[in-house]
C-alpha cells in the first residue's frame, strides 16, 4: 500500500503559464518537452525553449516541486545527435528526471549522466514486470509509466514483481492503442508519435463544409462527417466514425477521456507511486481545474479517516474538461475491452 503522501501528482505543462498554473494548483511534478520532435507532443506553439525552461525550473524548484522532461520519441540514425543533445540539456538544466522510451538513448543517458534519474515512458510499451525489469537491469530506471492496457489486478502483479516505481495515467485524452505500438498516423500522414512526436498532426487536417455536413479529413482520408448541430471533433484517426459491414459507428473509440478518480484508493492500495494527468496540448485553464481536483482527491485520501468518497463536484469539473464531455475507466473496466 502506498500512502497518499507518497502518490505524486504529475501534471502536464505545454507552456510556462501552464507550468506555473500546475505548480500553483498543487502538482508535485510537472512534465514538459522541448520545442521539437524529441517529445510526443510536438505541436506548434507548445513546449519550452531554453529561456522558458530556465524560468520554469526555477519556479517549480523554488516551491519544492519537480520537473520531468519528456524525451520519449525514438531517434533515428540521422537525427541521433538531436536526442542526445536534448539529454545533455536536460541534465544541464537540473531536471529531476528524464522520461525516455528508446533503449539506445537510455544507454547514452546512463553513461554520460550517471546521476540523471531515468523514467521509462509509456511509449516504451512495457506492459509486464519482465519488460520493466529489462530497463531496470540495464539502465537503472527508477520509474515506469504503464501503457493504458492493464486491469487493476494486472497493475498490482507488475508492482509486486519489480523494484521500479509505477506511474499510471489518471485522467485525460485516451489512446485506445498501446502507446509506442501505433503507426496509424504514419499510415495516413507519414508522421507518427514514435518518430515525429505527433499523432494526426494539424498540417494534414482539412475541415470542409459540404452539402452532407462538416467533413474532417486526415491526409485526405475522411475521418468523420458531422450533421448540422453536431459538435465537430478534431480528426484524431482512431476516434472517427467508419463503416464496418454496412454499419457506421465509432469502430475504434469514441471521443472520450480516461478518468480513474473513483479508483484512487485502489491505485494507492496496490502501490502505484504516481498519477499522471494527460494534456500538454491543453490550456492553462484545463491544467488548473484538473490539477485542483486531483490534488483535493489525493489530500482527502490521506487526511480524511472516512472511506474515500468522490465529490460530485470533482466529477463535474473533470467531465467539463473531457473530450466529448464523457469519460471511461478504460482498461480498468473489463467490458471496455
User: Burial, 300: exposed, middle or buried (Cβ in 10 Å; 0-12, 13-18, 19+)?
Assistant: middle
> Which residue lies nearer to another protein by CB, 84 or 319?
84
Shortest distance, CB of residue 265 to another protein, whole angstroms?
A: 23
226 lies in the binding site for another protein (CB under 8 A)? no
> Binding another protein by CB under 8 A: which of 124, 170, 235, 255?
124
72 lies in the binding site for another protein (CB under 8 A)? no
285 lies in the binding site for another protein (CB under 8 A)? no
> Binding another protein by CB under 8 A: which of 5, 49, 50, 107?
107
> Which residue lies nearer to another protein by CB, 151 or 325?
151
Give the integer Cα–Cα distance in Å for 265 and 89: 37
> Which residue lies nearer to another protein by CB, 144 or 290?
144
> Binding another protein by CB under 8 A: which of 36, 88, 253, 266?
253
Shortest distance, CB of residue 263 to another protein, whole angstroms?
A: 16
* Helix or strand holding residue 244 (H, E): strand 242-244
> Which residue lies nearer to another protein by CB, 176 or 268?
176
Instruction: List the one residue out of 221, 243, 239 whose CA is nearest residue 231.
Output: 239
Instruction: List the one residue out of 206, 247, 213 whose CA is nearest residue 229.
Output: 213
Shortest distance, CB of residue 257 to another protein, whole angstroms?
A: 16
* Helix or strand holding residue 156 (H, E): helix 152-160
Instruction: List the one residue out of 8, 7, 31 whose CA is nearest residue 19.
Output: 31
With contacts defined by CB under 8 A, name the span among 18-26, 54-62, 124-132, 314-322 that binds another protein: 124-132
Give the integer Cα–Cα distance in Å for 320 and 68: 27
Which residues are within 8 A (CB) of 327 and not within 5 positions of it... i.e. 6 or more apart? 256, 257, 258, 259, 318, 319
Residue 18, C-alpha cell as written in the block: 501552464
> Binding another protein by CB under 8 A: which of 244, 303, 306, 307?
244
186 lies in the binding site for another protein (CB under 8 A)? yes
> Binding another protein by CB under 8 A: which of 15, 42, 194, 292?
194
Q: How far is CA 233 from CA 84, 182, 199, 287, 325, in A?
A: 37, 21, 15, 20, 11
252 lies in the binding site for another protein (CB under 8 A)? yes
Q: How far is CA 260 from CA 44, 83, 251, 263, in A?
A: 30, 33, 23, 5
Binding track, positions 149-168, relative to another protein; x by CB under 8 A: xxx--x--x-----------
27 lies in the binding site for another protein (CB under 8 A)? no
Which residues are within 8 A (CB) of 245 and not within 5 positions of it... i.e. 6 or more apart? none
- Using CA atoms of 44, 50, 51, 56 in order, give the dihedral in degrees to the nearest 10: 90
Q: Which residues bind another protein (CB under 8 A)?
A: 74-78, 80, 101-105, 107-108, 124-128, 130-131, 133-135, 137-138, 148-151, 154, 157, 176-178, 180-184, 186-190, 192, 194-195, 219, 221-225, 238, 241-245, 247-248, 251-253, 330-331, 334-337
Amino acid at each position: 500500500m502506498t500512502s497518499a503522501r507518497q502518490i505524486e501528482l504529475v501534471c502536464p505543462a505545454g507552456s510556462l503559464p501552464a507550468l506555473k498554473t500546475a505548480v500553483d494548483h498543487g502538482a508535485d511534478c510537472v512534465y514538459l518537452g522541448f520545442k521539437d520532435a524529441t517529445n510526443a507532443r510536438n505541436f506548434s506553439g507548445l513546449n519550452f525553449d531554453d529561456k522558458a525552461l530556465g524560468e520554469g525550473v526555477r519556479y517549480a524548484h523554488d516551491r519544492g516541486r519537480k520537473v520531468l522532461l519528456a524525451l520519449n520519441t525514438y531517434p533515428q540514425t540521422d537525427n541521433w545527435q538531436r536526442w542526445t543533445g536534448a539529454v545533455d540539456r536536460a541534465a544541464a538544466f537540473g531536471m529531476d528526471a528524464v522520461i525516455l522510451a528508446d533503449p539506445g538513448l537510455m544507454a547514452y543517458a546512463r553513461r554520460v549522466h550517471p546521476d540523471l534519474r531515468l523514467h521509462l515512458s509509456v511509449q516504451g510499451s512495457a506492459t509486464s514486470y519482465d519488460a520493466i525489469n529489462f530497463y531496470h537491469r540495464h539502465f537503472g530506471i527508477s520509474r515506469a509509466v504503464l501503457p493504458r492496457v492493464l486491469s487493476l489486478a494486472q497493475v498490482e502483479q507488475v508492482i509486486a514483481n519489480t523494484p521500479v516505481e509505477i506511474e499510471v495515467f489518471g485522467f485525460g485524452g485516451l489512446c485506445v492503442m498501446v502507446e509506442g505500438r501505433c503507426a496509424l498516423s504514419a499510415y495516413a500522414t507519414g508522421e507518427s508519435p514514435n518518430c515525429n512526436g505527433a499523432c494526426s498532426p494539424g498540417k494534414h487536417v482539412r475541415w470542409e463544409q459540404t452539402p452532407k455536413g462538416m467533413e474532417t479529413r486526415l491526409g485526405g482520408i475522411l475521418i468523420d462527417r458531422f450533421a448540422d448541430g453536431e459538435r465537430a471533433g478534431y480528426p484524431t484517426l482512431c476516434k472517427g466514425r467508419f463503416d464496418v459491414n454496412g454499419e457506421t459507428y465509432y469502430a475504434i473509440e469514441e471521443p472520450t477521456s480516461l478518468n480513474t478518480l473513483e479508483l484512487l484508493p485502489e491505485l494507492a492500495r496496490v502501490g502505484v507511486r504516481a498519477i499522471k494527468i494527460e494534456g500538454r496540448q491543453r490550456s492553462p485553464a484545463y491544467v488548473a481545474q484538473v490539477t485542483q481536483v486531483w490534488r483535493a482527491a489525493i489530500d482527502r485520501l490521506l487526511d480524511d479517516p472516512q472511506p474515500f468518497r468522490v465529490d460530485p463536484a470533482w466529477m463535474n469539473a473533470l467531465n467539463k474538461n473531457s473530450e466529448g464531455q464523457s469519460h471511461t475507466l478504460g482498461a480498468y473496466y473489463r467490458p471496455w475491452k
